[in-house]
Amino acid sequence: MTGADEAARAAALKAANINPRTGLATDYLNHFNEAIMLLEMIPDIPECADDFLQWRPLSYAEHFIASNFKARDLAIWAYESADPELRAEFDHITGTMTNILTAVSEAMGQVQQDKTRAKLAIQATSWLKELVAAAGGIINGGTEANVDYIMTH
């Protein structure tokens, strides 16, 4: 790829809100932020647990395919073309978030007490916010996160 081609590629990615250095888009984090927002509401509005239970995991590509993101094909291509080590770290964090959300959803589906659901929501939210921040750091070219540290604190 020539310098002009590389500059054009970077400009197209930047215009689509995709980080040209990493090939990742923060728009994918909206998928997790939606679930976090619902979890945050559960302690005050217990009925929001029903809305949270409707949340379903989506892969990076699935998120963009289902979204109204204008440059979704470019986002998927950039993700697939991203540095494999960077993408693996990002996928590890987003996979951890998906696992947390799935486990909390399963637990909430089995308990009936609002107090128990609120405790589950509060704990999950604290983990998830740190993981979203870590994933955002990777998208924006930061360093890798220590998921084990986040999960134990």
Question: CA-to-CA distance for 83 and 97, rounded, in angstroms?
Answer: 21
pLDDT digit of tens for each residue in the chain (153 aa)?
Answer: 567 778 888 888 988 899 999 999 999 999 999 999 999 999 999 999 999 999 999 999 999 999 988 899 999 999 999 999 999 999 999 999 999 999 999 999 999 899 999 999 999 999 999 999 999 999 998 754 555 544 454
Which amino acid type is present at position 36?
Answer: I
Where in the chain are the domains? 3-152
Question: CA-to-CA distance for 124 and 131, rounded, in angstroms?
Answer: 11
Closest CA to 49 of 2, 3, 98, 107: 107
14 Rama sector, left if φ>0, alpha if ψ -120 to 50, beta otherwise? alpha
